[in-house]
Amino acid sequence: MTAGGSAKEPLVHIENFRMDFGDTTVIKDLSFDVYAGETFGFLGSNGSGKTTTLRALLGIYQPTAGTLHIAGKVFEPRDGARLGYLPEERGLYKKERVLDVMVYFGRLKGLSKAAARNWSLEYLERVQLADKAAVKIDKLSGGQQQKIQLGVTIMNNPELLILDEPTKGFDPVNRRLLMDIIEEHKRGGATVIMVTHQMEEVERLCDRVILLKDGTAKAYGTISAVQEQFGGTVYRVAYDGDLPPSTLYRATGVTSTSSGTADLVPLHGATEAAVVRELIQAGVEVKRFTTERVSMEEIFIRVYGDQNTLTEA
C-alpha cells in the first residue's frame, strides 16, 4: 500500500498488522508506510486502534500478527536515541525536580550531562518555565507539566517524532507553541507521525493521512487524495437570512443561523445551480458562493458520524 508515497523505502513500514486482546480484535489487517521527512496524520475515533498501533510499532505491545518496522527493523529501545515519543498516557516522575527529570531523559537519549542540562535550561527558557527548573513536577500545573513532557520528547533532536494526541490537555497558547515546535522539526527534516482529533491541525501540518475505523483503514493517502475520495467538494456560502433545511445539501460550519457563512455539503450529486436556486427561493440573500474541497473535519464526520463514541480530545 503506497497511497501517494514514493518508491523509496519507508521509514515506518506496517504490513498486515493484526492485534487481538483476548477475544477482541482491535486491529484486523492494517498496512501503511510513512516516509522520511513527511508528516503523517493517524486519524480515527476513540477506540479505533491508533494508540494500539503505535504501541505495537514501538514494541510496547506484542503484535498478534504482521510486520511493524522502523528503519527496516523491529524497534528496540536501544535504537530510540533519536526517537521522540509523546504517549497518550502521560506522566513524569512527579516527586522529582523538573531539571533532574529532563537531564535524566536526556542522558538516556545519549546526551552528556552538560549537554542535557544546557538543552533543558534553554528549552525551559523558551517555554517560560525557567523559574521552575528546581520545582518538583507535581507542583506544576497540568499545562506546565505538558510542556515538560514535550521537552523530554523532543530532546536530542529526534529524527522520528511520534505524537499521540499531542494537543490533549493543552490550552490554545500551548497548542500554538506545540504546533510551532512540530513545524520546526518538520522543517528540520524530521518525520512526524501524529495522532489527533484536531482536523485543522491535520490540514495545516500533515502531508498524508490514514483514517482508521473498526481496525481497518477507511482512507489513506495525501490530504487532497482523501478529500477527493470523499466527494471532493463543498459549497461555501456567505448569506443573509435563514438557511432552510434541504434535501440537496447538509450545512456544516454555520457561523450564524440568520446570516454569516456556512459550508454546504452537496447530497445526491446536487449541482451548484440547484443549491443556489433553492437558497434564493427560500428568501436567502447569497452574497458569495464558491466551490471548495471538502474539509477533513467533514470527512471525519462522514466516516465516524454513526459512532456516538466520538469525543473531543
Partner 1 sequence: MTPAPRLARARRTTKAHHNLGTVVGFEFTRTIKKRRFWIATLAIPVVMAVIFVLVFASNSSTRATTQAQKNAALSFMYTDASGIIPESLAGAMGGRKAQDPATALAAVKSGTSEAYFAYPANPAKDPVKVYGVDKGVFANNTYEAVAKQVLAIAAQEKIGSPTLTAATGGDVRVDTETFREGQPSGGLGAALPPLMFLLLFYVVIILLSNQMLNSTLEEKENRVTEMILTTLNPTTLIVGKIISLFLVGLVQVTVFLAPIVIGYLFFRDRLALPDVDLSALTFEPGPMIVGALLLISGFTLFTAVLVAIGAVMPTAKEAAVVFGPLMALIFVPFYAISLILSDPSAPIVRVFTFFPLSAPVTAMLRNGFGTLSTGEAIVVIAMLFLLGIVILRLAVHLFRYGSIQYGSKLSITKTLRRRPAELAGK
CB of 9 to partner 1, least distance (A): 4
Nearer of residues 132 and 218 to partner 1, judged by Cβ: 132
Q: What is the DSSP letter of 73?
A: B
**Only segment of 91-99, 176-184, 254-262, 284-292 that touches partner 1 (CB under 8 A):** 91-99
Give the up-direction half-sphere exposure of residue 76: CA atoms within 13 A in the CB hemisphere: 3
Q: Judged by CB under 8 A, does residue 68 bind partner 1?
A: yes
Cell matching residue 102: 529532563
Q: Rule CB under 8 A: choose which of 3, 28, 29, 104 binds partner 1.
A: 104
Of the residues 3, 60, 121, 129, which one makes contact with partner 1 according to CB under 8 A? 60
Site for partner 1 in 242-281 (CB under 8 A): none
**Cell triple for residue 92?**
513524569
- Binding of partner 1 by 89 (CB under 8 A): yes
- Compute the 3-state secondary structure of the chain and give helix, strand, coil in percent, each to the nearest 5: 35, 30, 35
DSSP 216-236: EEEEEEEHHHHHHHTT-EEEE
Residue 109 as a binder of partner 1 (CB under 8 A): the answer is: yes
34 part of the interface to partner 1, by CB under 8 A: no
- Choose the stretch contacting partner 1; rule: CB under 8 A; options: 42-50, 108-116, 176-184, 240-248: 108-116
Using rule CB under 8 A, residue 312 touches partner 1:
no
Check residue 134 for interaction with partner 1 (CB under 8 A): no
Looking up cell 523558551 gives 126
Q: Which of 34, 5, 309, 29 is nearest to 163 (CA)?
A: 34
Segment interacting with partner 1, rule: CB under 8 A, options 78-86, 119-127, 222-230, 262-270: 78-86
Range list of H helices, the chain: 50-57, 98-108, 113-126, 142-154, 172-187, 199-205, 223-229, 272-281, 296-304
For position 133 contacting partner 1 by CB under 8 A, the verdict is: no
Instruction: Calculate the alpha carbon distances from 77 to 51, 85, 134, 275, 290 in Å.
Output: 18, 12, 29, 56, 51
Complex with partner 1: residue 136 or 236, whichever CB lies closer:
136
CB of 158 to partner 1, least distance (A): 9
From 152-160, 194-202, 213-221, 258-266, span contacting partner 1 (CB under 8 A): 152-160
What gap in Å lies between CA 196 and CA 168, rounded to an integer?
A: 8
Q: Which stretch binds partner 1 (CB under 8 A): 60-68, 219-227, 269-277, 299-307?
A: 60-68
C-alpha cell at 8: 523509496
All three cell numbers of 6: 514514493
Q: With contacts defined by CB under 8 A, how many residues of the chain interact with partner 1?
A: 53
Q: How far is CA 260 from the centre of its chain?
A: 29
If binding is defined by CB under 8 A, does position 220 make contact with partner 1? no
Q: Which is nearer to partner 1, 66 or 241 (CB)?
A: 66
Nearest to 98 by CA among 19, 47, 27, 152: 152
Cell digits of residue 117: 542540562
- Tell which one of 5, 41, 44, 63 touches partner 1 (CB under 8 A): 63
Binding site for partner 1 (CB under 8 A): 7-11, 13, 22, 36, 55, 58-72, 74-83, 85, 87, 89-94, 96, 100, 104-105, 107-110, 152, 159-160
